[in-house]
A and B are shown apart, each in its own frame.
Chain A
Amino acid sequence: QQQVKQSPQSLIVQKGGISIINCAYENTAFDYFPWYQQFPGKGPALLIAIRPDVSEKKEGRFTISFNKSAKQFSLHIMDSQPGDSATYFCAASKGDYKLSFGAGTTVTVRA
């Protein structure tokens, strides 16, 4: 049973549009929420991460929004580019460095 539920499974966005991926968790002991990006044939790589004491974190075109009361967090990709086409995984851990991953979202950016 996955501890982190991710949606949607896939999405298609036009170049310049906004991609939004949502994740929800149940375990309130989670205190670290990273997002990983994976290109075809490659291993995942850390994209951006947030702690629950912050409601938003932005790095370039990528923003994490965190809602502690709703136990939800999301990744927003602004001004999406074809190079952003990849699979994105949300994850969570509770200080023991065991990451629980969501199922993944495949993002396709159409030029």
Chain B
Amino acid sequence: NAGVTQTPKFQVLKTGQSMTLQCAQDMNHNSMYWYRQDPGMGLRLIYYSASEGTTDKGEVPNGYNVSRLNKREFSLRLESAAPSQTSVYFCASSEPRTSGGWETQYFGPGTRLLVL
């Protein structure tokens, strides 16, 4: 049981280049998320998907697109990378909270992206 996996681990891009960050989970979770982590900013939600076929914007969606390919996979695409998108990107998954219950988000190991 690998949990949440992300590829690549590290990537260097030039301004204007495009790339797709891949994420997969094997916990049969319905909900998946993409966050970015920047020093002093915590984790900020870029996009999330409540279930297969649905996606919604988070706090910082500009410059990104997502695809929920199936229940397992949720990809994040940068169409034209900018230096401001230099960050560590985390994918997470969870089950919706049941009545009175907890909701735990499980995070992947992250992708470090440097845009020159």
Contact = CB atoms under 8 A, between A and B. Distances in A.
Contacts of A104: 40, 42
Contacts of A45: 106-107
Contacts of A46: 104-106
Contacts of B61: none
Contact of B109 (A32, A34, A42, A103): A42
Nearest to A93: B103
A73 interface: no
A99 B103 CA distance: 10
B43 A44 contact: yes
Contacts of B103: 32, 93, 97
B39 to A, nearest CB: 9
A43 interface: yes
A83 interface: no
B41 interface: yes
Q: Tell me if A's interface is mostly helix, strand, loop or mixed.
A: loop
B94 to A, nearest CB: 6
A62 to B, nearest CB: 15
Contacts of B77: none
Q: Which size bracket describes the interface of A in this complex?
A: 20 to 34
Interface string A1-37: 0101010010000000000000000000000101010
Nearest to B110: A43
A19 to B, nearest CB: 18
Nearest to B108: A43
27 contacts: A2-B42, A4-B42, A9-B40, A32-B97, A32-B102, A34-B104, A42-B109, A43-B4, A44-B107, A46-B105, A49-B102, A49-B104, A89-B42, A89-B43, A97-B31, A97-B94, A97-B96, A97-B97, A97-B103, A97-B105, A99-B105, A101-B43, A101-B44, A103-B40, A103-B42, A104-B40, A104-B42
Interface of B: 4, 31, 40-45, 48, 50, 58, 90, 92, 94, 96-97, 102-110
